[in-house]
A and B are shown apart, each in its own frame.
Chain A
Amino acid sequence: MRARIQDGGRARRPSRLRRRAIAGALIFLVATGLGTSPVIAAGETPGACVVEKVEALEFGGRHGGEALALLEETAARGVDEGAEEKFKSFEKKLQSCLDAPNPIIPEVTEIIWGGIAFVVLLALMQWKLFPAVKRGMDRRAEKIRDDLDAAETARTEALEVKAGYEAELADARAEAGRIIDAARSDAEGVRVDLIARAEAEAAELRQRADQDVEAAKRQALSDMQSEVSAIVIGAAETVIGRNLDHDTQVELIESYIDDVGSRN
Protein backbone atom coordinates (compact mmCIF):
# COMPACT_ATOMS: atom_id res chain seq x y z
CA MET A 1 0.00 0.00 0.00
CA ARG A 2 2.85 2.33 0.93
CA ALA A 3 4.62 1.49 -2.29
CA ARG A 4 1.42 2.26 -4.13
CA ILE A 5 1.07 5.62 -2.41
CA GLN A 6 4.73 6.46 -2.98
CA ASP A 7 4.40 5.61 -6.60
CA GLY A 8 1.51 7.94 -7.13
CA GLY A 9 -1.16 5.22 -6.92
CA ARG A 10 0.53 2.92 -9.42
CA ALA A 11 0.82 -0.69 -8.15
CA ARG A 12 4.42 -1.88 -7.97
CA ARG A 13 3.56 -5.38 -6.84
CA PRO A 14 4.03 -8.10 -9.48
CA SER A 15 1.00 -8.24 -11.74
CA ARG A 16 -1.39 -11.18 -11.57
CA LEU A 17 -0.11 -12.39 -14.95
CA ARG A 18 3.48 -12.37 -13.75
CA ARG A 19 2.56 -14.19 -10.53
CA ARG A 20 0.73 -16.80 -12.56
CA ALA A 21 3.69 -17.15 -14.93
CA ILE A 22 6.09 -17.65 -11.99
CA ALA A 23 3.74 -20.21 -10.40
CA GLY A 24 3.35 -21.99 -13.74
CA ALA A 25 7.11 -22.09 -14.26
CA LEU A 26 7.61 -23.52 -10.75
CA ILE A 27 4.96 -26.19 -11.29
CA PHE A 28 6.53 -26.98 -14.66
CA LEU A 29 9.96 -27.31 -13.04
CA VAL A 30 8.71 -29.56 -10.22
CA ALA A 31 6.68 -31.69 -12.61
CA THR A 32 9.64 -32.09 -14.93
CA GLY A 33 11.74 -33.04 -11.93
CA LEU A 34 9.17 -35.60 -10.79
CA GLY A 35 8.98 -36.91 -14.31
CA THR A 36 12.67 -37.59 -14.64
CA SER A 37 12.23 -41.13 -13.42
CA PRO A 38 13.11 -43.37 -16.36
CA VAL A 39 10.34 -45.72 -15.26
CA ILE A 40 7.81 -42.95 -15.88
CA ALA A 41 9.42 -41.48 -18.93
CA ALA A 42 10.22 -44.70 -20.69
CA GLY A 43 8.36 -47.87 -21.47
CA GLU A 44 9.29 -51.36 -20.30
CA THR A 45 13.02 -51.72 -19.55
CA PRO A 46 15.09 -54.78 -20.53
CA GLY A 47 15.99 -55.24 -16.85
CA ALA A 48 12.34 -55.44 -15.81
CA CYS A 49 11.61 -57.76 -18.73
CA VAL A 50 14.46 -60.13 -17.76
CA VAL A 51 13.38 -60.13 -14.13
CA GLU A 52 9.79 -60.83 -15.18
CA LYS A 53 10.87 -63.76 -17.38
CA VAL A 54 13.13 -65.22 -14.70
CA GLU A 55 10.42 -64.98 -12.06
CA ALA A 56 7.97 -66.72 -14.37
CA LEU A 57 10.38 -69.66 -14.97
CA GLU A 58 9.50 -73.03 -13.47
CA PHE A 59 11.79 -76.08 -13.54
CA GLY A 60 12.19 -79.13 -11.37
CA GLY A 61 9.53 -78.00 -8.95
CA ARG A 62 11.36 -74.73 -8.34
CA HIS A 63 10.56 -71.15 -9.30
CA GLY A 64 12.47 -68.04 -10.34
CA GLY A 65 16.22 -67.79 -9.85
CA GLU A 66 16.48 -71.24 -8.30
CA ALA A 67 14.71 -72.80 -11.30
CA LEU A 68 17.07 -70.93 -13.65
CA ALA A 69 20.17 -72.16 -11.78
CA LEU A 70 18.89 -75.76 -11.82
CA LEU A 71 17.94 -75.54 -15.52
CA GLU A 72 21.34 -74.10 -16.47
CA GLU A 73 23.15 -76.80 -14.50
CA THR A 74 21.01 -79.62 -15.95
CA ALA A 75 21.38 -78.32 -19.50
CA ALA A 76 25.14 -77.97 -19.07
CA ARG A 77 25.45 -81.62 -18.00
CA GLY A 78 23.95 -82.63 -21.36
CA VAL A 79 22.01 -85.59 -20.03
CA ASP A 80 18.49 -84.15 -20.30
CA GLU A 81 17.48 -83.12 -23.84
CA GLY A 82 14.27 -81.54 -22.55
CA ALA A 83 16.25 -79.31 -20.21
CA GLU A 84 18.56 -78.27 -23.05
CA GLU A 85 15.55 -77.37 -25.22
CA LYS A 86 13.95 -75.47 -22.36
CA PHE A 87 17.15 -73.57 -21.64
CA LYS A 88 17.50 -72.59 -25.33
CA SER A 89 13.86 -71.50 -25.38
CA PHE A 90 14.41 -69.45 -22.21
CA GLU A 91 17.48 -67.79 -23.77
CA LYS A 92 15.33 -66.82 -26.76
CA LYS A 93 12.75 -65.34 -24.39
CA LEU A 94 15.48 -63.30 -22.71
CA GLN A 95 16.73 -62.22 -26.12
CA SER A 96 13.21 -61.03 -26.93
CA CYS A 97 13.52 -58.61 -24.01
CA LEU A 98 16.27 -56.87 -26.00
CA ASP A 99 14.66 -57.29 -29.41
CA ALA A 100 11.73 -55.16 -30.48
CA PRO A 101 9.84 -54.68 -33.71
CA ASN A 102 11.00 -52.10 -36.22
CA PRO A 103 9.60 -48.79 -34.95
CA ILE A 104 8.70 -47.57 -38.44
CA ILE A 105 6.22 -50.43 -38.85
CA PRO A 106 2.97 -49.25 -37.30
CA GLU A 107 1.02 -51.38 -34.85
CA VAL A 108 -2.34 -52.45 -36.28
CA THR A 109 -4.19 -51.89 -33.01
CA GLU A 110 -2.80 -48.36 -32.77
CA ILE A 111 -3.84 -47.62 -36.35
CA ILE A 112 -7.36 -48.79 -35.50
CA TRP A 113 -7.60 -46.66 -32.36
CA GLY A 114 -5.97 -43.69 -34.08
CA GLY A 115 -8.38 -44.10 -36.99
CA ILE A 116 -11.40 -44.30 -34.70
CA ALA A 117 -10.23 -41.21 -32.80
CA PHE A 118 -9.62 -39.17 -35.96
CA VAL A 119 -12.83 -40.21 -37.71
CA VAL A 120 -14.93 -39.37 -34.63
CA LEU A 121 -13.10 -36.06 -34.25
CA LEU A 122 -13.49 -35.16 -37.92
CA ALA A 123 -17.18 -36.05 -37.93
CA LEU A 124 -17.88 -33.96 -34.82
CA MET A 125 -15.79 -31.07 -36.06
CA GLN A 126 -17.26 -31.11 -39.57
CA TRP A 127 -20.91 -31.27 -38.59
CA LYS A 128 -21.17 -29.81 -35.13
CA LEU A 129 -18.24 -28.16 -33.36
CA PHE A 130 -16.44 -26.17 -36.04
CA PRO A 131 -19.61 -24.61 -37.52
CA ALA A 132 -20.82 -23.71 -34.00
CA VAL A 133 -17.57 -21.95 -33.04
CA LYS A 134 -17.28 -20.32 -36.46
CA ARG A 135 -20.90 -19.15 -36.26
CA GLY A 136 -20.13 -17.51 -32.91
CA MET A 137 -17.07 -15.82 -34.41
CA ASP A 138 -19.02 -14.65 -37.47
CA ARG A 139 -21.83 -13.35 -35.26
CA ARG A 140 -19.32 -11.43 -33.20
CA ALA A 141 -17.65 -10.05 -36.33
CA GLU A 142 -21.08 -9.03 -37.63
CA LYS A 143 -21.95 -7.37 -34.32
CA ILE A 144 -18.65 -5.53 -34.25
CA ARG A 145 -19.20 -4.47 -37.88
CA ASP A 146 -22.72 -3.28 -37.04
CA ASP A 147 -21.48 -1.45 -33.96
CA LEU A 148 -18.75 0.19 -36.00
CA ASP A 149 -21.29 1.19 -38.65
CA ALA A 150 -23.60 2.57 -35.96
CA ALA A 151 -20.69 4.39 -34.36
CA GLU A 152 -19.72 5.79 -37.77
CA THR A 153 -23.30 6.91 -38.42
CA ALA A 154 -23.49 8.49 -34.96
CA ARG A 155 -20.16 10.18 -35.58
CA THR A 156 -21.34 11.53 -38.94
CA GLU A 157 -24.55 12.77 -37.36
CA ALA A 158 -22.63 14.35 -34.51
CA LEU A 159 -20.31 16.01 -37.02
CA GLU A 160 -23.32 17.32 -38.95
CA VAL A 161 -24.87 18.66 -35.73
CA LYS A 162 -21.52 20.14 -34.78
CA ALA A 163 -21.19 21.74 -38.22
CA GLY A 164 -24.75 23.18 -37.78
CA TYR A 165 -23.86 24.54 -34.37
CA GLU A 166 -20.65 25.98 -35.70
CA ALA A 167 -22.49 27.62 -38.60
CA GLU A 168 -25.06 29.05 -36.17
CA LEU A 169 -22.26 30.21 -33.93
CA ALA A 170 -20.51 31.84 -36.88
CA ASP A 171 -23.79 33.53 -37.88
CA ALA A 172 -24.31 34.73 -34.32
CA ARG A 173 -20.75 36.01 -34.22
CA ALA A 174 -21.21 37.80 -37.54
CA GLU A 175 -24.51 39.25 -36.31
CA ALA A 176 -22.87 40.37 -33.08
CA GLY A 177 -20.06 41.93 -35.15
CA ARG A 178 -22.59 43.66 -37.33
CA ILE A 179 -24.47 44.96 -34.29
CA ILE A 180 -21.26 46.16 -32.69
CA ASP A 181 -20.19 47.85 -35.95
CA ALA A 182 -23.59 49.50 -36.29
CA ALA A 183 -23.47 50.64 -32.66
CA ARG A 184 -19.98 51.91 -33.16
CA SER A 185 -21.04 53.70 -36.32
CA ASP A 186 -24.10 55.18 -34.58
CA ALA A 187 -21.97 56.28 -31.66
CA GLU A 188 -19.51 57.88 -34.08
CA GLY A 189 -22.40 59.68 -35.78
CA VAL A 190 -23.72 60.88 -32.44
CA ARG A 191 -20.24 61.92 -31.43
CA VAL A 192 -19.64 63.85 -34.66
CA ASP A 193 -23.09 65.41 -34.41
CA LEU A 194 -22.59 66.40 -30.80
CA ILE A 195 -19.20 67.84 -31.56
CA ALA A 196 -20.61 69.77 -34.55
CA ARG A 197 -23.48 71.02 -32.48
CA ALA A 198 -21.18 71.98 -29.66
CA GLU A 199 -18.81 73.69 -32.06
CA ALA A 200 -21.73 75.54 -33.69
CA GLU A 201 -23.06 76.56 -30.30
CA ALA A 202 -19.63 77.62 -29.21
CA ALA A 203 -19.16 79.58 -32.44
CA GLU A 204 -22.56 81.18 -31.97
CA LEU A 205 -21.78 82.04 -28.39
CA ARG A 206 -18.42 83.35 -29.39
CA GLN A 207 -19.99 85.43 -32.17
CA ARG A 208 -22.63 86.69 -29.81
CA ALA A 209 -20.00 87.57 -27.28
CA ASP A 210 -17.95 89.32 -29.93
CA GLN A 211 -21.03 91.26 -31.00
CA ASP A 212 -21.76 92.14 -27.37
CA VAL A 213 -18.18 93.18 -26.86
CA GLU A 214 -18.29 95.23 -30.06
CA ALA A 215 -21.57 96.84 -29.05
CA ALA A 216 -20.30 97.52 -25.57
CA LYS A 217 -17.11 98.89 -27.03
CA ARG A 218 -19.01 101.03 -29.42
CA GLN A 219 -21.31 102.21 -26.65
CA ALA A 220 -18.35 102.89 -24.41
CA LEU A 221 -16.60 104.80 -27.14
CA SER A 222 -19.72 106.77 -27.88
CA ASP A 223 -20.27 107.51 -24.20
CA MET A 224 -16.69 108.34 -23.72
CA GLN A 225 -16.70 110.54 -26.85
CA SER A 226 -19.67 112.53 -25.56
CA GLU A 227 -18.16 112.90 -22.15
CA VAL A 228 -14.76 113.80 -23.48
CA SER A 229 -16.20 116.29 -25.91
CA ALA A 230 -18.15 117.90 -23.11
CA ILE A 231 -15.08 118.00 -20.91
CA VAL A 232 -12.91 119.26 -23.73
CA ILE A 233 -15.45 121.93 -24.73
CA GLY A 234 -15.67 123.01 -21.18
CA ALA A 235 -11.94 123.08 -20.91
CA ALA A 236 -11.54 124.88 -24.23
CA GLU A 237 -14.15 127.48 -23.22
CA THR A 238 -12.37 128.02 -20.12
CA VAL A 239 -9.01 128.29 -21.88
CA ILE A 240 -10.01 130.48 -24.81
CA GLY A 241 -12.66 132.39 -22.98
CA ARG A 242 -15.30 132.21 -25.49
CA ASN A 243 -18.02 130.01 -26.62
CA LEU A 244 -17.70 128.09 -29.71
CA ASP A 245 -20.87 127.40 -31.60
CA HIS A 246 -22.01 123.88 -31.10
CA ASP A 247 -21.30 122.54 -34.59
CA THR A 248 -17.80 123.82 -34.55
CA GLN A 249 -17.17 122.29 -31.20
CA VAL A 250 -18.35 118.94 -32.29
CA GLU A 251 -16.37 119.02 -35.50
CA LEU A 252 -13.28 119.95 -33.64
CA ILE A 253 -13.63 117.26 -31.07
CA GLU A 254 -14.43 114.51 -33.48
CA SER A 255 -11.53 115.35 -35.72
CA TYR A 256 -9.37 115.18 -32.68
CA ILE A 257 -10.77 111.89 -31.57
CA ASP A 258 -10.42 110.44 -35.04
CA ASP A 259 -6.85 111.61 -35.04
CA VAL A 260 -6.24 109.97 -31.72
CA GLY A 261 -8.11 106.84 -32.88
CA SER A 262 -6.00 106.59 -36.06
CA ARG A 263 -2.87 106.85 -33.95
CA ASN A 264 -4.04 104.03 -31.78
Chain B
Amino acid sequence: MSIFALDFPAVTHLFEWPDIAFSDTYLALNKTSLIYLAGMILTVVTFGLAARKRALVPSGVQHVAEGGINFVEQNIVMQTIGSDGRRFMPFLTSLFFFIFFINIFEVIPFIQFPGNSRMAVPLLLALVVWVIYNYIGIRSQGLGGYLKNSLFPPGVPKALYLIVAPIELFSTFLIRPLSLAIRLWANMMAGHLLLVTFAVLSAALWGFGYVPGLLPFFMLVLLTAFEIFVSALQAFIFTILTAVYIGGSLHPEH
Protein backbone atom coordinates (compact mmCIF):
# COMPACT_ATOMS: atom_id res chain seq x y z
CA MET B 1 0.00 0.00 0.00
CA SER B 2 2.93 2.34 0.54
CA ILE B 3 3.72 2.11 -3.18
CA PHE B 4 0.08 2.96 -3.91
CA ALA B 5 0.32 5.98 -1.63
CA LEU B 6 3.35 7.18 -3.54
CA ASP B 7 1.64 6.43 -6.86
CA PHE B 8 -1.23 8.67 -5.92
CA PRO B 9 0.01 12.03 -7.10
CA ALA B 10 0.19 15.00 -4.79
CA VAL B 11 -2.59 17.47 -5.57
CA THR B 12 -0.26 20.08 -7.02
CA HIS B 13 1.53 17.42 -9.09
CA LEU B 14 -1.69 16.79 -10.98
CA PHE B 15 -1.35 20.18 -12.56
CA GLU B 16 2.42 20.64 -12.96
CA TRP B 17 3.79 19.29 -16.22
CA PRO B 18 7.44 18.99 -17.15
CA ASP B 19 8.81 21.04 -20.04
CA ILE B 20 8.79 19.31 -23.40
CA ALA B 21 10.83 21.89 -25.35
CA PHE B 22 12.63 25.21 -24.88
CA SER B 23 13.30 24.39 -21.22
CA ASP B 24 14.47 27.21 -18.98
CA THR B 25 13.26 29.88 -21.39
CA TYR B 26 10.13 32.03 -21.40
CA LEU B 27 8.85 29.91 -24.27
CA ALA B 28 9.20 26.62 -22.38
CA LEU B 29 6.51 24.35 -23.79
CA ASN B 30 4.63 21.89 -21.60
CA LYS B 31 1.39 19.90 -21.84
CA THR B 32 -0.68 22.87 -20.65
CA SER B 33 0.82 25.20 -23.29
CA LEU B 34 0.19 22.55 -25.96
CA ILE B 35 -3.44 22.36 -24.89
CA TYR B 36 -3.72 26.15 -25.19
CA LEU B 37 -2.33 25.95 -28.72
CA ALA B 38 -4.62 23.02 -29.51
CA GLY B 39 -7.61 25.05 -28.29
CA MET B 40 -6.65 27.82 -30.69
CA ILE B 41 -6.02 25.43 -33.59
CA LEU B 42 -9.30 23.56 -33.07
CA THR B 43 -11.27 26.83 -33.08
CA VAL B 44 -9.46 28.06 -36.19
CA VAL B 45 -9.97 24.73 -37.99
CA THR B 46 -13.65 24.58 -37.01
CA PHE B 47 -14.36 28.07 -38.35
CA GLY B 48 -11.99 27.70 -41.31
CA LEU B 49 -13.75 24.54 -42.51
CA ALA B 50 -17.16 26.11 -41.86
CA ALA B 51 -16.19 29.19 -43.87
CA ARG B 52 -15.03 27.01 -46.76
CA LYS B 53 -18.00 24.62 -46.76
CA ARG B 54 -20.93 27.07 -47.07
CA ALA B 55 -23.57 24.38 -47.69
CA LEU B 56 -27.16 25.55 -47.80
CA VAL B 57 -28.10 23.01 -45.16
CA PRO B 58 -25.24 23.02 -42.65
CA SER B 59 -23.90 19.75 -41.28
CA GLY B 60 -20.85 18.54 -39.38
CA VAL B 61 -18.25 21.15 -38.58
CA GLN B 62 -20.21 23.90 -40.36
CA HIS B 63 -23.15 23.13 -38.11
CA VAL B 64 -20.92 23.38 -35.02
CA ALA B 65 -19.51 26.78 -36.05
CA GLU B 66 -22.83 28.25 -37.16
CA GLY B 67 -24.65 26.77 -34.17
CA GLY B 68 -22.00 28.34 -31.93
CA ILE B 69 -22.41 31.72 -33.59
CA ASN B 70 -26.20 31.54 -33.30
CA PHE B 71 -25.92 30.44 -29.68
CA VAL B 72 -23.58 33.30 -28.76
CA GLU B 73 -25.71 35.79 -30.68
CA GLN B 74 -29.15 34.74 -29.42
CA ASN B 75 -28.40 33.50 -25.93
CA ILE B 76 -25.55 35.76 -24.92
CA VAL B 77 -25.28 38.99 -26.93
CA MET B 78 -28.99 39.70 -27.51
CA GLN B 79 -29.84 38.79 -23.91
CA THR B 80 -27.20 40.97 -22.29
CA ILE B 81 -26.08 43.77 -24.61
CA GLY B 82 -28.68 44.03 -27.35
CA SER B 83 -28.32 44.45 -31.09
CA ASP B 84 -25.42 46.92 -30.80
CA GLY B 85 -23.45 44.13 -29.12
CA ARG B 86 -23.14 42.30 -32.44
CA ARG B 87 -19.80 44.01 -33.09
CA PHE B 88 -18.39 42.02 -30.15
CA MET B 89 -19.50 38.72 -31.67
CA PRO B 90 -16.05 37.72 -33.02
CA PHE B 91 -14.48 38.35 -29.61
CA LEU B 92 -17.21 36.60 -27.63
CA THR B 93 -17.37 33.64 -30.04
CA SER B 94 -13.58 33.25 -29.90
CA LEU B 95 -13.75 33.39 -26.11
CA PHE B 96 -16.48 30.74 -25.92
CA PHE B 97 -14.84 28.27 -28.30
CA PHE B 98 -11.30 28.84 -26.97
CA ILE B 99 -12.38 28.19 -23.37
CA PHE B 100 -14.59 25.26 -24.36
CA PHE B 101 -11.91 23.46 -26.39
CA ILE B 102 -9.30 23.97 -23.67
CA ASN B 103 -11.77 22.65 -21.09
CA ILE B 104 -12.91 19.65 -23.11
CA PHE B 105 -9.39 18.14 -23.12
CA GLU B 106 -10.41 17.11 -19.60
CA VAL B 107 -12.27 14.14 -21.08
CA ILE B 108 -10.21 13.43 -24.21
CA PRO B 109 -8.63 10.00 -23.65
CA PHE B 110 -4.90 9.96 -23.00
CA ILE B 111 -4.77 13.77 -22.72
CA GLN B 112 -7.27 14.10 -19.88
CA PHE B 113 -6.23 17.48 -18.63
CA PRO B 114 -8.26 20.68 -18.72
CA GLY B 115 -5.92 23.51 -19.67
CA ASN B 116 -8.02 25.92 -17.64
CA SER B 117 -7.23 24.06 -14.43
CA ARG B 118 -4.01 26.09 -14.69
CA MET B 119 -4.43 29.73 -13.83
CA ALA B 120 -2.63 31.16 -16.88
CA VAL B 121 -5.41 31.38 -19.46
CA PRO B 122 -8.29 32.11 -17.04
CA LEU B 123 -6.32 35.02 -15.57
CA LEU B 124 -5.14 36.22 -18.96
CA LEU B 125 -8.65 36.17 -20.42
CA ALA B 126 -10.08 37.84 -17.33
CA LEU B 127 -7.52 40.64 -17.70
CA VAL B 128 -8.35 41.01 -21.40
CA VAL B 129 -12.05 41.23 -20.47
CA TRP B 130 -11.24 43.76 -17.72
CA VAL B 131 -9.35 45.98 -20.17
CA ILE B 132 -12.09 45.71 -22.79
CA TYR B 133 -15.08 46.53 -20.59
CA ASN B 134 -13.27 49.41 -18.91
CA TYR B 135 -12.14 50.78 -22.28
CA ILE B 136 -15.68 50.53 -23.67
CA GLY B 137 -17.10 52.18 -20.54
CA ILE B 138 -14.66 55.11 -20.75
CA ARG B 139 -15.16 55.49 -24.50
CA SER B 140 -18.96 55.44 -24.39
CA GLN B 141 -19.53 57.44 -21.19
CA GLY B 142 -16.31 59.37 -20.73
CA LEU B 143 -13.97 58.76 -17.80
CA GLY B 144 -16.00 60.86 -15.36
CA GLY B 145 -19.33 59.43 -16.45
CA TYR B 146 -18.04 55.86 -16.33
CA LEU B 147 -16.60 56.27 -12.84
CA LYS B 148 -19.74 58.05 -11.65
CA ASN B 149 -22.05 55.39 -13.06
CA SER B 150 -19.83 52.57 -11.81
CA LEU B 151 -19.27 53.86 -8.28
CA PHE B 152 -22.55 55.70 -7.71
CA PRO B 153 -25.29 53.61 -9.27
CA PRO B 154 -28.47 55.65 -9.75
CA GLY B 155 -31.51 54.95 -7.60
CA VAL B 156 -29.54 54.34 -4.40
CA PRO B 157 -30.22 56.71 -1.45
CA LYS B 158 -27.35 59.18 -1.24
CA ALA B 159 -26.44 58.23 2.31
CA LEU B 160 -25.81 54.68 1.18
CA TYR B 161 -23.17 55.81 -1.33
CA LEU B 162 -20.73 55.82 1.60
CA ILE B 163 -21.06 52.05 1.68
CA VAL B 164 -22.00 51.35 -1.93
CA ALA B 165 -19.20 53.31 -3.63
CA PRO B 166 -16.30 51.38 -2.02
CA ILE B 167 -18.12 48.10 -2.60
CA GLU B 168 -18.69 48.98 -6.27
CA LEU B 169 -15.07 50.09 -6.60
CA PHE B 170 -13.82 46.71 -5.38
CA SER B 171 -16.53 44.80 -7.20
CA THR B 172 -16.11 46.44 -10.62
CA PHE B 173 -12.39 46.95 -10.79
CA LEU B 174 -10.93 44.14 -8.68
CA ILE B 175 -13.40 41.39 -7.87
CA ARG B 176 -14.87 41.04 -11.36
CA PRO B 177 -11.69 39.91 -13.13
CA LEU B 178 -10.60 37.79 -10.19
CA SER B 179 -13.98 36.11 -9.84
CA LEU B 180 -14.05 35.45 -13.60
CA ALA B 181 -10.63 33.84 -13.52
CA ILE B 182 -11.03 31.94 -10.28
CA ARG B 183 -14.50 30.59 -11.16
CA LEU B 184 -13.24 29.02 -14.37
CA TRP B 185 -9.94 27.81 -12.92
CA ALA B 186 -11.45 26.37 -9.72
CA ASN B 187 -14.27 24.56 -11.53
CA MET B 188 -11.91 22.89 -13.97
CA MET B 189 -9.38 22.10 -11.25
CA ALA B 190 -12.08 20.53 -9.06
CA GLY B 191 -13.36 18.51 -12.01
CA HIS B 192 -9.89 17.23 -12.80
CA LEU B 193 -9.32 16.29 -9.16
CA LEU B 194 -12.59 14.37 -9.11
CA LEU B 195 -11.75 12.45 -12.27
CA VAL B 196 -8.21 11.64 -11.13
CA THR B 197 -9.49 10.51 -7.74
CA PHE B 198 -11.96 8.08 -9.25
CA ALA B 199 -9.48 6.99 -11.93
CA VAL B 200 -6.84 6.14 -9.32
CA LEU B 201 -9.47 4.54 -7.10
CA SER B 202 -10.75 2.38 -9.98
CA ALA B 203 -7.23 1.29 -10.91
CA ALA B 204 -6.32 0.52 -7.28
CA LEU B 205 -9.53 -1.32 -6.38
CA TRP B 206 -9.54 -3.37 -9.59
CA GLY B 207 -7.12 -5.74 -7.93
CA PHE B 208 -9.67 -6.51 -5.18
CA GLY B 209 -12.29 -7.86 -7.56
CA TYR B 210 -14.80 -6.69 -10.10
CA VAL B 211 -17.34 -5.20 -7.71
CA PRO B 212 -15.03 -2.83 -5.80
CA GLY B 213 -13.38 -1.85 -9.08
CA LEU B 214 -16.59 -1.33 -11.03
CA LEU B 215 -18.26 0.99 -8.53
CA PRO B 216 -15.69 3.81 -8.74
CA PHE B 217 -15.34 3.11 -12.47
CA PHE B 218 -19.03 3.78 -13.11
CA MET B 219 -18.71 6.89 -10.97
CA LEU B 220 -15.76 7.87 -13.17
CA VAL B 221 -17.83 7.41 -16.33
CA LEU B 222 -20.68 9.47 -14.88
CA LEU B 223 -18.30 12.21 -13.78
CA THR B 224 -16.64 12.20 -17.19
CA ALA B 225 -20.03 12.89 -18.78
CA PHE B 226 -20.67 15.54 -16.13
CA GLU B 227 -17.32 17.19 -16.93
CA ILE B 228 -18.35 17.51 -20.59
CA PHE B 229 -21.34 19.49 -19.36
CA VAL B 230 -19.17 21.53 -16.97
CA SER B 231 -16.71 22.33 -19.80
CA ALA B 232 -19.49 23.84 -21.90
CA LEU B 233 -21.17 25.48 -18.92
CA GLN B 234 -18.00 27.23 -17.74
CA ALA B 235 -17.28 28.49 -21.27
CA PHE B 236 -20.86 29.81 -21.38
CA ILE B 237 -20.63 31.45 -17.94
CA PHE B 238 -17.32 33.16 -18.72
CA THR B 239 -18.65 34.45 -22.04
CA ILE B 240 -22.04 35.61 -20.74
CA LEU B 241 -20.43 37.42 -17.79
CA THR B 242 -18.06 39.14 -20.22
CA ALA B 243 -21.07 40.21 -22.28
CA VAL B 244 -22.87 41.41 -19.13
CA TYR B 245 -19.83 43.55 -18.17
CA ILE B 246 -19.54 44.96 -21.71
CA GLY B 247 -23.30 45.63 -21.75
CA GLY B 248 -23.02 47.43 -18.39
CA SER B 249 -20.26 49.63 -19.79
CA LEU B 250 -22.25 50.40 -22.95
CA HIS B 251 -25.62 50.95 -21.29
CA PRO B 252 -25.13 52.11 -17.69
CA GLU B 253 -28.85 52.89 -17.42
CA HIS B 254 -29.61 49.15 -17.32
Contact = CB atoms under 8 A, between A and B. Distances in A.
A32 B40 contact: no
B6 A126 contact: no
A155 to B, nearest CB: 22
Nearest to A140: B56
Interface stretch (A84-92, A127-135, A201-209, A254-262): A127-135
A47 interface: yes
Contacts of B39: 117, 121
A65 interface: no
A252 to B, nearest CB: 131
B69 A45 contact: no
Contact of A43 (B14, B109, B123, B202): B14
B189 interface: yes
A99 B70 CA distance: 46
Contacts of A121: 39-40, 43-44, 94, 98
A41 B128 CA distance: 31
A94 to B, nearest CB: 12
Chain A interface mostly helix, strand, loop or mixed? helix
B47 interface: yes
Given A38-B7, A125-B94, A111 B123 contact: yes
Nearest to A134: B69
Interface in B13-35: 13-19, 25-33
B102 to A, nearest CB: 9
Interface stretch (A14-22, A102-110, A167-175, A231-239): A102-110
Interface in A38-59: 38, 40-47, 49-50
Contacts of A44: 9, 13, 16-18
Interface residues of A, number: 58
A5 interface: no
B47 A133 contact: yes
B56 to A, nearest CB: 6
Contacts, number: 203
Contacts of B120: 106-107, 110-111, 113-114
Nearest to B48: A129
A112 B26 contact: yes
B210 interface: no
Interface string B42-69: 0110011011001010000000011001
A35 B200 CA distance: 10
Contact of B47 (A42, A100, A101, A129): A129
Interface in A166-212: none
27 contacts: A32-B224, A36-B199, A37-B199, A38-B8, A41-B112, A47-B3, A100-B12, A103-B12, A103-B189, A106-B119, A106-B123, A111-B120, A114-B121, A118-B40, A122-B90, A122-B94, A124-B47, A129-B47, A129-B48, A130-B90, A130-B93, A132-B47, A132-B51, A133-B47, A133-B51, A133-B66, A136-B51
A-B interface, 3 closest residue pairs, ranked by CB to CB distance from nearest: A100-B12, A47-B6, A132-B51
